[in-house]
A and B are shown apart, each in its own frame.
Chain A
Amino acid sequence: MADVSNGDAFVEFERVQKSYDGENLVVKDLNLSMPKGEFLTMLGPSGSGKTTCLMMLAGFETATHGDIRLGGTSINNIPPHKRGIGMVFQNYALFPHMTIAENLSFPLEVRKMGKSDREAKVMRALDMVEMGAFGGRRPAQLSGGQQQRIALARALVFEPELVLMDEPLGALDKQLREKMQFEITHLAHRLGITVVYVTHDQTEALTMSDRVAVFDDGRIQQLAPPDKLYEEPQNSFVAQFIGENNTLEGVVKEISNGVALVQLDDGGLIDAKPINVSKAGERTRVSIRPERVEYNKDRMPEGAHTLKAEVLEFIYMGDIFRTRLRVAGKDDFFVKTRNAPDQVRLKPGQEIEIGWLAEDCRALDA
């Protein structure tokens, strides 16, 4: 568990627990600390507790135990409307009976702001999301992407320091989603706001965030920047959940010089970097990314252990090739190779040998 707790933490969860029924904990012992200006994404499968965390932060759910702090003060007993946190909802929750301008004006009105100030701010917020011409329309007259921008503008118009986003792009099609991912991150960085973003889409999490908290079973499994998360998963859940991944199961034979020798269940031997294993005899699950697997003898590191593999399928995907192999008795082992002029194109039925750098192969918990 990463502990970033320090003096300038802006949002803090300390030993937070949440139970709805008094029997099961939905959130188990959550500790999290984020500095001002960070874009943090809570990523996890549904039911992992990420949305509950967001709702506790927003004030719509109360923590069963523990402390949530904002800017150093506990907000456990502060009602949502006094927290000053902007929020973008999954279905945007734009008020259908108000025009776009009225929607944006609403948070300013409840803050008793003067009319001219309000109009100026609304206009600025609309311009910010390039929707300046739409102030007089109703939400129903806008497309999904446009509504998304308005929801964003509404959450930002009263200049909150913290903005929460609950799967805000879930309802958009792929292309629009990618465009909006960029816009949201740019906007967040430009305005210097702190963002907590909830999603179950790992690509979104990786492309947008400064740090990602991977949730499962009510706990943060790993909290790290995207590259670390991808390249150095701390346990097999994270390794499985983030990106594509090949796993092989076996027993640690020995650990020496920071390299573990793992005997697979079919007897084959491989080198791996020990992460969650500490001594010989432990069961482990080794994880290797498809693009780090090598079958070109010339490129294989010297002295590396290799495994025999049979090519089952070769898939041409334009920029890359995907090859499905049978390795160690499992036939769902993938290899990804870049489409380059000198790249070998494998044929089904072909017998090859595969290998990798020991540090690319991580021996994790079984």
Chain B
Amino acid sequence: MSDTTQSGPVLAADGTPLKRSLARALRMQKIRALMLVAPLLLFVLITFILPIGDMLFRSVENQIVSDTLPRTVVALREWDANSGEAPDEAVYAALAEDLKIAAAAKLHTRVGSRLNYEKPGISSMFRKAGRKVKKWDVENGGPFKEQFIAIHEGWGDPDAWRTIQTYSPNFTNGYFLNAADLQKGAEGAEWRPEDEQIYWVLFKRTMFMSMVITISCIILAYPVAWILANLPARSANMLMILVLLPFWTSLLVRTSAWKVMLQQQGVINETLVWLGLVADESRLVMINNQFGTIVAMTHILLPFMILPMYSVMQTIQPTYLRAAKSLGATNWTAFWRVYFPQSVPGIGAGSILVFILSIGYYITPELVGGTKGVFISNRIAFHISSSLNWGLAAALGAILLAVVLVLYWAYDKIVGIDNVKLG
């Protein structure tokens, strides 16, 4: 009874506030729960969060220039890039000093490679200069300006110096500009020359083709999932094995099989020519273009659409359709007004899966995409493994990540993410 008369916080039997006492009682439970999820948490942190963080960091990181050429960067601050003239002797002397240390540590060529992404030719300027500067006496060997220009005439080019100056800060938006077909010009960001613009095209194409692939997957998967969900268990299991069969075959084998099917001397064309439907000299071009990519990727990603659809459709009781019909709806109306809306969560889940998987796909487009069927991910792979321009690859990846998040957000706004069911 005393509880009801007192004001202020409710107290437990021993006089401590009830809230605190409850929190203490729950603490052990919370710690135990945390311990249980800790391995997964750690796993996700190490294999997912950290790499993504590292990627985002790389897309803006640019410490290599100021780390390797600290004196030059400072000396270059005074120089006016728009003067049209190369910097004065002080900068070259600083460069000589920096390069001598860098060359001893074999770091000079790394800066060269880094800056070469921004301006072709800088790589060999650094490579050649490093080789010579190693033997110089940097204290008494000056003046250096002419000596540098003698090694490589690029050292006298104000444009090369502008590039060094532009990319001397520790962080840069240069990779992102590049990823958006922009570059740093004399007056801030400007479009790259038209013959170098490619990423916009690829981003748009990646989005468009992923959309087409997602839609074809929906169209092909829906009836299959419907049959699966409505068959008796034994036949459904059999059919399910057929659906999952592609998963058991290597991606390369499947893609190569499509080559055999679709190429001009391939199975489909041969059949069409044999049937007389297509003239021998006008065989259909179905591979090394967008069509080939869409066909092969739809096939590969189809199970990712069927499975969530199936698991959602399984939960839709057949009595709903009967109820609709008993209320006077035709087969079509019953399906469209009653069954279909309930299967939308499956379509949503499948679409998100397929769409996100396809915008990141690169093996299949690489093999069957030709020139018009490649995705942005092919460029990312190229910059990771071939050009070693990891900063640019990271920027492209970050943009792709942002696009996915935006789409996810939009989906949540339009359809509602709690409407997505994976099973």
Contacts and interface: CB of A to CB of B under 8 A. Distances in A.
Contact of A107 (B328, B341, B342): B328
B333 interface: yes
6 contacts: A58-B322, A60-B322, A93-B322, A97-B342, A110-B328, A164-B326
Contact of A81 (B325, B341, B342): B325
Interface of A: 58-60, 79-82, 84-87, 89-91, 93, 95-97, 106-107, 110-111, 154-155, 158, 164
B326 A58 contact: yes
Given A97-B342, A106-B337, A158 B317 contact: no
Given A96-B342, A97-B342, A158 B328 contact: yes
Contact of B323 (A79, A84, A87, A97): A87
A120 B331 CA distance: 27
B323 A110 contact: no
Contacts of B330: 81, 110
B419 to A, nearest CB: 10
A6 to B, nearest CB: 28
Nearest to A89: B319
Chain B interface secondary structure, helix, strand, loop or mixed? helix
B324 A106 contact: yes
Contacts of B320: 93, 95
A80 B327 CA distance: 9
Given A96-B342, A97-B342, A107 B327 contact: yes
Contacts, number: 63
Contacts of B323: 87, 89, 93, 95
Contacts of B334: 81
Among the interface residues A79, A89, A90, A106, which one has the most CB atoms of the partner chain B within 10 A?
A: A106
A81 B329 contact: yes
A154 B319 contact: no
Contact of A106 (B319, B322, B327): B327
A93 B319 contact: yes
Contact of A158 (B327, B331, B342): B327
A87 B329 contact: no
Given A81-B325, A91-B319, A155-B327, 11 more contacts: A58-B326, A79-B325, A80-B325, A80-B326, A84-B328, A86-B326, A89-B319, A93-B319, A95-B323, A95-B324, A95-B342
B326 A110 contact: no
B337 A93 contact: no
Interface in B326-356: 326-331, 333-334, 337-338, 341-342
Contacts of A96: 342
B313 to A, nearest CB: 14
A155 B328 CA distance: 11
A158 to B, nearest CB: 7
